[in-house]
Structure 1
Amino acid sequence: MSDPEFHRQHGFLLTRHAQDLRKNKAINLSAVKSAAANIEPKTQTILWGWTPKGTVKLVFEDQNPLFFVHSEDQERASQILNRLHIAHHANPLKHQSFENKPVSAMYFSTIDDHFKARQQLSGADIETFEHDLKLQDKFLFERNIHGSFEFIGTPKTQLDYTEYTNVRIKPSKIKPVFNVLSLDIECSMEGELYSIGLYGHPAQAASANDKETSSHKLTRTVIMIGQPETTDDPKINIIWVKDEYQLLMTLENQIQLLNPDIIIGWNVINFDFQLLHKQAKKQNLTLRLGRGLSPMSWRDSRTEANQGFVTLPGRVVIDGIDALRTATYYFESFSLENVAQKLLKRGKKTEDVDNRVEHITHDFLHNKQKLAAYNLEDCKLVWDIFIHTEIMDFLILRSQLTGLELDKIGGSVAAFTNLYLPKLHRAGYISPNLPPDGGLASPGGYVMNSLPGFYKNVLVLDFKSLYPSIIRTFKIDPMGLIEGLKDPDNAIPGFKGAMFSRHHHFLPNIIEELWAQRDQAKKDKDGPRSQALKIIMNSFYGVLGSGGCRFYDTRLASSITMRGHKIMQKTALWIEQAGYQVIYGDTDSTFVLLDSELSECQANGIGKQLAQDINDYWVKELREKYNLDCYLELEFETHYHRFLMPTIRGSEAGSKKRYAGLTSIDGKQEMVFKGLETVRTDWTDLARSFQHHLYRIIFDDQDPTHFIKRTVQATLNGENDHQLIYRKRLRRPLRDYVKNVPPHARSAKIADQKNAALGKSLQYQNKGWISYVITLTGPEPIEYRESELDYQHYLEKQLKPIADGILPFIGLDFDRLTDQQMDLF
């Protein structure tokens, strides 16, 4: 390189993988054969990335897979591997295991040898450490490369990317502007492909600042099987093909032409791409959808039926459902129709969403242009959901903060490992292995017994990020635990025998950095960044208490939750010593009852003063008892004008995690429900509506008698039939419901028996949602209901439990109010 600066660039990771070079199908096999004596087996790590100048492929060929063993096992391990002719070399290190034993690193030329060696040593009862880390992931996190990177190397121009060798790489900061494409397929119930929709902008990510101002630049394409027709809608580009083979080949051509970095969709992996893979196999076709015409690969899940993973080298496939769940979005149903209606206030282009498959087939046979519009609108709905939620920005920021892949689902353990392990290695430790038994459960969050009642003026005081603040304050840390146990006299006591070093730790500092970034993000009103930081911080307790994490130790998780118990109990004691009654406490929230005659202004003043006083108490307590700085922060969160803490059904004891209240938000009174029927998906719309209106009437000090009687009578008269539908998920394959068959499974069995008799495809065999009603003959699916509705069931199982949760507190009884109506009926 005559001018190294010419090739210096910034980029963002798209995909990563490692492979054994001699197994790389791209190698000229005849050349390998002729020069076999001169070729050493080795690995190849490949990073695909976005840059402002185009796609890059970075190739590294100097990485050796490795794992660690205790140095006392090194000689025996080498003897075993030598007997099996597994090439390796071992080096004693200054590092230690968490058992305070010295370790040696064992290096291998290939991933295959590394895997075989691990198996053989395990069979010989020699423990190996960090053997499960993927070579490409280790390469990145040891260099602190999280999403963004800077690199320099020797370029070679390829078809649709530039390949770099002799690469040097380091961390960087850059915000990518991805080329995003939304994909959706339409097909028959049997999986025969009809059309494929493609929607996107060639130079604009699906982010909040994207506006459809230049429609001529947008991709609005539908590949459709059928004879060419004149297009009615000039905004839709229909590519007509004669059969499924041509449909797939045209998709391949369009992907290469449009060259997206990201492909998005709705259930796009386990429906669209799984079906594309299946149909391509039927056609004896290898779909080349990756960069450089590299083939798409599919891998079935080992644990979930009809689930799998798709790989497109150089491109990322992101499922909208998984992305929203990762960002902690919640919907009763994650169907595209429901989510679009909730977020965008619009839905699919069909008159009958529930029977859309029949309409799709009808339109394919009789109105292909209508089908094309429907297909493209599904693509656009996904695109607009991504824009509305800023989900792409969230995924980019999460990757930059933790090093997680853009398409990674969940990933709390991987994020923790990426952040923590490099620091641990530099401190002279290697990580422990996963617990062999999956780990023991640690105590959960604090929940105190509640005092049931119907109250005026209840305050809620919340500890801000309680578990992260406990980690910061009490220096809870995996390495800190090992160091603290070495010098217990100068350590901070935890629980279950834990002792934590005051000075040797990493996690409290990681939390501190993330906390400061989140405060700044909130100040800047940067929603995606704030949410990403919140999720990462709050996940660390769960990681330390998870048997799926290599740093799992019950002493760590228990020292967080049990400390939380003590903090909540002490806080409640101080509040009561100040003359107020605590009626409930839950994880990080304390509910305080005030005088019912206080004004809202007076109640708010007391809430703020209580929070300040408790914070001052904790600063003093931790300084005097432990000589620690306090990072606990109690905040006054809510003032409820009226508040209901119900009893446990059939008992006089107070319930837990269930309450309702009336508060003011931005000057407007709003009802808040927690854990009650109105927020649960397995209750009918009638129950939810009834509860919301009943509680509001009572909270406004009105008599609910007329409303209750009117609702009961309307239900008996059949006026509320449209609100009596249950909707519930089948969490197992239908065939697994044998002995104990709940109502929703019985309905699903009835529905698929009817489907089979009518020659229709079975809908409920592999999990999914079922909508049903309760009739005089039992549960029936709504699409095949034959019997009269059992109104008595809905009164007894839906309305009465809700009414009984609040009426006794105002001296009324549901049965007495409604007996006469039911007798007359």
Structure 2
Amino acid sequence: MSSAALAPAELPGFILTRHWRDLPDGTEIEYWLATDEGPKKVLLTQQTSVAFLPARHRAAAQAPLAGLEVKELGLKTFDQEPVLGVYARRFRDLGKLARALQPLGIPLYEADVRPHDRYLMERFITAGVVVEGGLRKGQGIIDCRLKPASGWRPVMKVVSLDIETSATEELYSIALDGAGDRVVFMLGEVTASASAPAASPMDFRLLYCPTRRDMVEQLNAWFEAHDPDVIIGWNVIQFDLRVLQKAADASSVPLQLGRERRPIAWRTHPGRQGYLFAPMPGRVVVDGIEALRAGMWSFPSFSLEAVSQELLGEGKEIGDAYDKMAEIERRYQANKPALARYNIRDCALVLRIFDQLELLPFVLERAQTTGLQVDHFGGSIAAFSHHYLPRMHRLGYVAPNVGDIAAKAFPGGYVMDSTPGFYDSVLVLDYKSLYPSIIRTFLVDPVGLAEGESTDIQTGLVQGPQGTLFSRDKHCLPDIVTTLSNARDEAKRARNQPLSQALKLLMNSFAGVLGASECRFFNPKLVSAITLRGHEVMKLTRAFVEQRGYQVIYGDTDSIFIWLKRPHSTAEAHAVAASLVQDINAWWARKLREEQQLESFLEIEFDTHYAKFFMPTIRGSDVGSKKRYAGLSIDEEGREEMVYRGLEMARSDWTPLARQFQEGLLSRIFHGEPYRAFVADYARSMLDGRMDALLVYRKRLRHRLDAYQVNVPPQVRAARIADAHNAKLNRPQQYQRGGWIQYVMTQSGPEPLEARHSRIDYEHYLVKQLQPIADAILQPLGDSFVALTSAQKVLF
């Protein structure tokens, strides 16, 4: 330790990665931080781990407890049973203890909370930290103290990575764009054509590598020299890094992309076969597709081509999968600089998408909000535990184990029966974050429920649905939600959209977490106390609105659709909405204060005014549908927007023919324009072959192709035809592991676009695509598809 020095008093940082390891003298925790001084490795040595044992089992567990420290702590389970703290120098010893106690029927609580997570959560640290004290040794800070810090954010050094391969995943090139450099490592030697002046100057370096071993070594050296904090890409873990690891292994050279030239610690997902995680010390890997899904962005396709076309208005320069592989092969063999340009362009597209959607700020704010590592997507259960456990401990409780309460069904969100038909002037009012607001208002909480169930005196408790009782003064979750809600309001005032979105998603996940059987806090009583209270809120709101003389035609979980019973101008409708919002919120505040002495956090807001609105029936019946409607909305500036929810227009499993027809028909009806000729002309054009480009089905194969044995849907039949065709042409088979297939219905059945030989079955599209859509819309108007098309002799 002679080269070590005392660290400065305080250093702000942001946690990039976390790891733990058991050593002979105790558990060591490692955090890599981004700081203003560059990356820092924090090592906390000789850490002990803790779990909790019911005190009444101490004697029975004496033998397995040998060598472990046991303390009385004043903590208890949700069943009010006292527990002892069991401390181990090595974390894995707690797992061994839990397994040894299992045959004895003795539970051990919280033995699965990993050391690096417990250290942070018990100090209320999520991602931002302040480092205090400790010893400096190079990039390392040893045995310091970490405190939470919320406001500081690092300037991340980011690199976009993309590779190109042969059809059989043989590595051809590696492109890197970021961290102050743009470079492509290309397999092969410099040729005369490659060294000739290019048509346009390169804005990147092109380095030729004689072997794949040399490519991997160059890549390792680049990462050490440029030292990025974040690696971004598109399917970067499941494809790019996986192929790079395969190439490194085949070349007998280590792939050392982590800091300190450390390897990727590959892990498989326990619930998703073939899905990989690629943690590496000191660097975060953020996949664009996963980040978009985590932020609830939605695209018909998440391919880089589709997303870049929609967001940037441009995309990749090579067409479909077959053209792409053939063109990549041609460029590799004949024009390597052209392949390098294609490779680096993909890196640039990813960088621009991340920049436009603020994806990196979003994932950083998500980490700060949830307590999860930056590149840990999903994880709502882990985020809940990160916030809840330390607060629960301070109230004297330990967490139950997963499976302590048997899984059983519970009520979901309240969806009203709809009144189908066409309407003028429909208002939509939404409760802002309804379930989190119910948690705050009615004090729904695991500890609060344990307190309520443990007392014989019901006075002063909050009475919930199904006889549940909650403590008014001993709870955690309402306070957590209040903190997050206030932070979101502040983020919205500051126009910090990434933080606002991260906070909203976390709060809205809490009810789902309590209803997830794989969560340690799962309890049907708890989640029912939220959902059934939601039912009550929606029913009482409906009654309030209808007492005002309006009609509620639909409602879904937290939204209510109100028909004003006559056409209203935009100004009139907005005035009605403002009055209803004010009165409903005031009514809730008064009702809850007077009846239960509770402060109301229920807040209904005005969402949309539909000048025209359509609610269809369930196909083949007179019953109104749910979660399916269309409307023509008009805002205060008079801007119109056609809105579709759940209809064929909004669903990817219907053809463009159907979606375009539905949009055209509804638009004409909403605007009071003639529609009968449109229906007939559209059908005639389709039958005449003038709309063939719109007849393509695009569907997803969710399983391996050989998994479909009994029920073989059309998309699977088309995929099998396609891959048989690919095999004949010695092309890679595209669909063996699933994926997206495009096909049309022919007189011989479904056929893929790449291997279509038969005539199109126009009757299929007429009966299965156009007629169902038309009749759902026309029936309330007294018309039908057959009547309109037969009258025009379309079908003859």
Q: TM-score range by the shorter chain?
A: over 0.9
SS in 2 for 1:362: helix
The correspondence for 1:50, drawn from 18, 24, 34, is: 34
CA distance in 2: counterparts of 1:791 and 1:436, whole angstroms: 57
User: By how many angstroms is 1:66 displaced?
Assistant: 2.2
The correspondence for 2:739, drawn from 768, 790, 805, is: 768
Counterpart AA for 2:189: Q
Matching residue of 1:224: 186
Instruction: Report if the CA contact (8 A) 2:405-2:523 is conserved.
Output: no
Q: Does the alignment pair 1:183 with 2:154?
A: no
CA distance in 2: counterparts of 1:423 and 1:597, whole angstroms: 53
CA distance in 2: counterparts of 1:637 and 1:43, whole angstroms: 53
User: By how many angstroms is 1:497 displaced?
Assistant: 2.8
Q: Which moved more, 1:508-517 or 1:640-649?
A: 508-517
TM-score (norm 1): 0.93
Q: Which deviations, in whole Å up to 9, do the C-alpha atoms of 1:708-760 show, x marking residues without a partner?
A: 11111111111111111111111111111011000011111111112222222
Instruction: Report if the CA contact (8 A) 1:286-1:296 is conserved.
Output: no
Matching residue of 2:683: 712
CA distance in 2: counterparts of 1:473 and 1:179, whole angstroms: 43
Matching residue of 1:532: 502
Q: Does the alignment pair 1:397 with 2:365?
A: yes
Q: How does 1:566-645 map to 2 (within 5 A)?
A: 566-645=536-615
Counterpart AA for 1:278: K
SS in 1 for 2:589: helix
Q: Which deviations, in whole Å up to 9, do the C-alpha atoms of 1:271-310 show, x marking residues without a partner?
A: 1111112222222222111111112222233332331111
Q: How does 1:280-319 map to 2 (within 5 A)?
A: 280-319=248-287
CA distance in 1: counterparts of 2:369 and 2:52, whole angstroms: 28
Q: Which deviations, in whole Å up to 9, do the C-alpha atoms of 1:456-487 show, x marking residues without a partner?
A: 11111211111111111101111111112224
The correspondence for 1:79, drawn from 63, 73, 83, is: 63
CA distance in 1: counterparts of 2:68 and 2:347, whole angstroms: 51
Instruction: Report if the CA contact (8 A) 1:226-1:241 is conserved.
Output: yes
CA distance in 2: counterparts of 1:134 and 1:824, whole angstroms: 68
The correspondence for 1:66, drawn from 50, 54, 57, is: 50
Matching residue of 1:215: none
Q: Which runs of 5+ in 2 are unaligned?
A: none
SS in 2 for 1:610: helix
Instruction: Report if the CA contact (8 A) 1:277-1:298 is conserved.
Output: no
Q: Which moved more, 1:464-473 or 1:512-521?
A: 512-521
Q: Which deviations, in whole Å up to 9, do the C-alpha atoms of 1:145-171 show, x marking residues without a partner?
A: 11111113444554xxx1121312211
CA distance in 2: counterparts of 1:350 and 1:507, whole angstroms: 51
Instruction: Report if the CA contact (8 A) 1:74-1:90 is conserved.
Output: no
Matching residue of 2:625: 655
Instruction: Report if the CA contact (8 A) 2:50-2:86 is conserved.
Output: yes
Q: Which moved more, 1:593-602 or 1:721-730?
A: 593-602
Matching residue of 1:31: none
CA distance in 2: counterparts of 1:289 and 1:523, whole angstroms: 40
Matching residue of 1:455: 423
CA distance in 2: counterparts of 1:295 and 1:702, whole angstroms: 65
Matching residue of 2:533: 563
Change (3 A) 1:436 1:491: closer
Counterpart AA for 1:802: I
SS in 2 for 1:196: strand
CA distance in 1: counterparts of 2:512 and 2:326, whole angstroms: 45
Q: Does the alignment pair 1:323 with 2:288?
A: no
SS in 1 for 2:459: helix
Q: Which deviations, in whole Å up to 9, do the C-alpha atoms of 1:508-542 show, x marking residues without a partner?
A: 12111211221122222211111111111111111
Change (3 A) 1:178 1:299: same
TM-score (norm 2): 0.96
User: By how many angstroms is 1:824 displaced?
Assistant: 5.2
Instruction: Report if the CA contact (8 A) 1:269-1:310 is conserved.
Output: yes
Number of equivalent positions: 784
SS in 2 for 1:55: strand
Matching residue of 2:148: 171
Change (3 A) 1:597 1:301: closer
The correspondence for 2:717, drawn from 743, 746, 771, is: 746
Matching residue of 1:782: 753
SS in 2 for 1:739: coil
Instruction: Report if the CA contact (8 A) 2:381-2:513 is conserved.
Output: yes
Counterpart AA for 2:166: S
Matching residue of 1:13: 15
Counterpart AA for 1:561: T
Instruction: Report if the CA contact (8 A) 2:424-2:612 is conserved.
Output: yes
SS in 1 for 2:278: strand
The correspondence for 1:136, drawn from 96, 112, 116, is: 116
Matching residue of 1:207: none
SS in 2 for 1:647: coil
Counterpart AA for 1:692: E
Counterpart AA for 2:683: V
CA distance in 2: counterparts of 1:123 and 1:288, whole angstroms: 43
SS in 1 for 2:513: helix
Instruction: Report if the CA contact (8 A) 2:684-2:794 is conserved.
Output: no
Q: Which deviations, in whole Å up to 9, do the C-alpha atoms of 1:552-584 show, x marking residues without a partner?
A: 111111011100101111111111112111111
Counterpart AA for 1:714: S
CA distance in 1: counterparts of 2:450 and 2:615, whole angstroms: 44
Instruction: Report if the CA contact (8 A) 1:748-1:770 is conserved.
Output: yes
Counterpart AA for 2:289: I
Matching residue of 1:349: 317
User: By how many angstroms is 1:80 displaced?
Assistant: 3.0
Instruction: Report if the CA contact (8 A) 1:394-1:528 is conserved.
Output: yes
Change (3 A) 1:43 1:3: closer
CA distance in 2: counterparts of 1:153 and 1:597, whole angstroms: 69
Matching residue of 1:491: 461
SS in 1 for 2:15: strand
Cα RMSD (Å) of the superposition?
1.7
CA distance in 2: counterparts of 1:128 and 1:806, whole angstroms: 60
CA distance in 2: counterparts of 1:499 and 1:601, whole angstroms: 45
Instruction: Report if the CA contact (8 A) 1:18-1:43 is conserved.
Output: yes
Counterpart AA for 2:378: G
Matching residue of 1:801: 772
Instruction: Report if the CA contact (8 A) 1:4-1:152 is conserved.
Output: no
The correspondence for 2:659, drawn from 679, 688, 696, is: 688
Matching residue of 1:32: none
Q: Which deviations, in whole Å up to 9, do the C-alpha atoms of 1:30-77 show, x marking residues without a partner?
A: xxxxxxxxxxx4211111111111111111113112211101112222
Q: How does 1:230-241 map to 2 (within 5 A)?
A: 230=195, 232=198, 233-241=201-209
CA distance in 2: counterparts of 1:634 and 1:164, whole angstroms: 50
CA distance in 2: counterparts of 1:128 and 1:334, whole angstroms: 43
Instruction: Report if the CA contact (8 A) 1:15-1:405 is conserved.
Output: yes
Q: Which moved more, 1:730-739 or 1:614-623?
A: 614-623
CA distance in 1: counterparts of 2:705 and 2:398, whole angstroms: 46
CA distance in 2: counterparts of 1:789 and 1:757, whole angstroms: 24
The correspondence for 2:77, drawn from 97, 104, 113, is: 97
CA distance in 2: counterparts of 1:660 and 1:781, whole angstroms: 32
Matching residue of 1:206: none
SS in 2 for 1:199: strand
Change (3 A) 1:675 1:772: same
Matching residue of 2:522: 552
User: By how many angstroms is 1:112 displaced?
Assistant: 2.9
User: By how many angstroms is 1:314 displaced?
Assistant: 0.8
CA distance in 1: counterparts of 2:443 and 2:203, whole angstroms: 60
The correspondence for 2:302, drawn from 307, 330, 334, is: 334
